[in-house]
Structure 1
Amino acid sequence: MSARTVYFTGDEAVEVKRESVPEVTPETVLVETTYSGISAGTEGLVYRGDVPTPLQSTGPVKPLADDFTYPVAYGYATVGRVVAVGEAIDDDWLDERVFAYAPHSSHVRVSPTELVRVPESVPSERAPLFANVETAVTLALDANPAIGERVAIFGQGVVGVLVTGLLAGSSLTDLVAVEPLSARRERARSMGATHAVPPDTSDPGRAIREAIDERVDCCVEVSGNPNALESAIAATRYDGRVVVGSWYGTKPVDLPLGGRFHRNRIDIESSQVSTIAPRYRGRWSRDRRRQVAWNRLESLPVEDLITHRIPVEEADRAYELLAEHPRDVGQVLLVYE
């Protein structure tokens, strides 16, 4: 038996390599993968070679090499079962269904400290979405909308529509989804958006102002498009805030900050799931955030977000699909049989 591992081998080039199944060491376990989820945003940058270096990680996801070069295995949404344990590991881990922040591979050797047990109530096919829900929970925490506020979310890909679903129950006056694709706008409405509008490229922020006759208190930018940040600022009212969850990689961001941004005391804050904002750390731990993410993954209607299930041997087709037909793609799962 051999392991099958997905490698990025060049710009827009993916290869599945067969390798020896790793043997457990005394303090590790071996996970046999059932599904792994592809992150269209983050892995899209890796696929295109748009990764800034050096790139470090302070969270559970292993950092890419400081001198990012191909070939590289990358991913962080693997679900499977523990099939072997090291001599120093409790046998209770055997046959546990787990989530791992690990690259796409049929067999993953990790420390149990890097695993998250999958609740019995969460189906294995749904479990790879845990990483995206955890990101969405972090964005919702960082946005921190108050009752009655108006919030806009730029981008209704998987993460964006999950943020919409989380904030839909927050007693907001308006929850506006900004998304160019009509199918995604409809999905945002089904998740609880009060308005879903296409962006206006000729006048940043106008789409929101026309939808609700007002600027918003907070924008969450998760489109992955650097141009959306200008629109988010233009749509934000005096003393409002813009939470940036997009990772733009090496794509340049050109912002006109000499106008109303400067006069209107608008805050721009980055949000990244690797850490919890300092203002929450006295009350929020990673374990607490994970528990909230699992609970929301159970309750949100996420089944329709999974649009493609592709055998791992055809991983190149999965990435081509994401690159060439993004309008038709939601969450892509690699399937291991």
Structure 2
Amino acid sequence: MTPHAGTDAGTGGEQMMRVRTTASAVSKGTETLVHTGRVPPRVAELMAAPHQLGDFPHPVSYGYLAVGIVDEGPAAWIGTRVFGLLPHHSHHLVVPDDVHPIPEGISDHRALLAGAAETGLNILWQSPPHYGDRVAIIGGGMIGAATALLASHLPLERLEIIETNPDRRALLTSLGLTALAPEDAGDDCDIVIHTSGSEAGLARALEIAGDDGTVVEASWYGDTEPQVALGADFHARRLSIVASQVGQVPAGHRARRTRSERLGAALSALHDDRFDALITGTSGWQDLPWLMDELSSDTALATATLCHVLDYEEGS
């Protein structure tokens, strides 16, 4: 998931309020790139999180998936559970425009997936699937899985999520999704959404897109420069590759939807109980340094993680 660069700021004169964090989550793809100092200098300002402290590469206080309770500020907000694009801190001083109330019936942990759902919604708005389309999503991480859950409500002829990890395929299948190994993916797709962050995934996306089809590139590679196989399918079959980045509402919706409205729609989408399965681990907030080292390495935890939650409640 890429950070929400340029997110709407609060308007002047709004009263400050304090949010006591109850939980935050690690967006593994982007946060491990930040943790290992792999943000390209030329886009450092664009890729800054809305409320980060410090500058890339280090030291920087980062993160953009947090929930909490307003415990100081305007009387109308006291006790309200909120989601915000906020770093891994125990408390935050914000204005009302910085946060969004969490709907009833959605737990604090599930609300942390609002960022993933918002990114998935933005992807689907980028090149909207039509009735009866064949859609593939390559990469079953947090963003790919969230996008697939959203897309599963659309009247598509075919929706496949392509994932190399058999354990992830089993998890996705248990959610009622069609999850396949790359070699088993259907071809002649109208839209292929790429979220795996790998050269192999992007190459496979170009292979399975149908003639005149579209590949939506939603991966962020940091300072990695992937080789893109443009010599085979791209020109000969008139394919399109379009970028999706959640910092802005896509052009097709930008005149009619604000980022706040998009986030509200994402939070509403979390009424789907299947999102709980994307939370694959929980730790106390004190484990963040160790957790980031683990997720940035080739470890079993890194392989298994979709969304890892940090608890801030007493005793966690």
Query: One fold, TM greater than 0.5?
Result: yes
Task: Determine the structure 2 residue equivalent to 1:250.
Answer: 223
The CA deviation string for residues 106-161 of structure 1, in whole angstroms up to 9 with x for no partner, is: 01122222111112221112111111111111112223111111111010011111
Mapping for residues 259-274 of structure 1, pairs under 5 Å? 259-274=232-247
Matched, 1:56 2:45: yes
- Structure of larger gyration radius: 1
- Displacement of 1:317: 2.6
Preserved CA contact (<8 Å) 2:52 2:63: no
Q: 1:277 to 1:63 in 2, by over 3 A?
A: farther
1:103 to 87, 93, 113: 87
Mapping for residues 168-317 of structure 1, pairs under 5 Å? 168-194=152-178, 196-200=179-183, 207-208=184-185, 212=186, 214-317=187-290
Q: 1:274 to 1:52 in 2, by over 3 A?
A: same
Q: 1:110 to 1:288 in 2, by over 3 A?
A: closer
Task: Determine the structure 2 residue equivalent to 1:81.
Answer: 69
Matched, 1:334 2:310: yes
Q: Please, which moves more after superposition, 300-309 or 155-164? A: 300-309
Matched, 1:32 2:15: no
Residue type at the aligned position of 1:158: M
Task: Determine the structure 1 residue equivalent to 2:104.
Answer: 120
Preserved CA contact (<8 Å) 2:211 2:239: yes
Task: Determine the structure 2 residue equivalent to 1:15.
Answer: none
Identity over aligned pairs, percent: 32
In 2, distance between residues paired with 1:299 and 1:193?
A: 14
Question: Where does structure 2 lack aligned partners over 5 or more consecutive residues?
Answer: 1-12
Question: Where does structure 1 lack aligned partners over 5 or more consecutive residues?
Answer: 1-24, 201-206
The 3-state SS of whatever aligns with 1:99 is strand
The 3-state SS of whatever aligns with 2:70 is strand
- The list of structure 1 runs, each at least 4 consecutive aligned residues, that deviate by more than 6 angstroms after superposition, is none
In 1, distance between residues paired with 2:176 and 2:48?
A: 31
Residue type at the aligned position of 2:137: I
Residue type at the aligned position of 1:249: G
The 3-state SS of whatever aligns with 1:301 is helix
Provide the aligned length of Structure 1 versus Structure 2. 297
Higher RCO structure (Cα 8 Å, ≥6 apart): 2
Preserved CA contact (<8 Å) 1:227 1:254: no
Task: Determine the structure 2 residue equivalent to 1:6.
Answer: none
Preserved CA contact (<8 Å) 1:161 1:191: no
1:166 to 140, 143, 150: 150
Q: Structure 1-normalised TM-score? A: 0.82
Q: 1:31 to 1:177 in 2, by over 3 A?
A: same
* Aligned CA-pair RMSD: 2.2
The CA deviation string for residues 55-77 of structure 1, in whole angstroms up to 9 with x for no partner, is: 23499734786x62311100001
In 2, distance between residues paired with 1:26 and 1:140?
A: 33
Preserved CA contact (<8 Å) 1:164 1:191: no
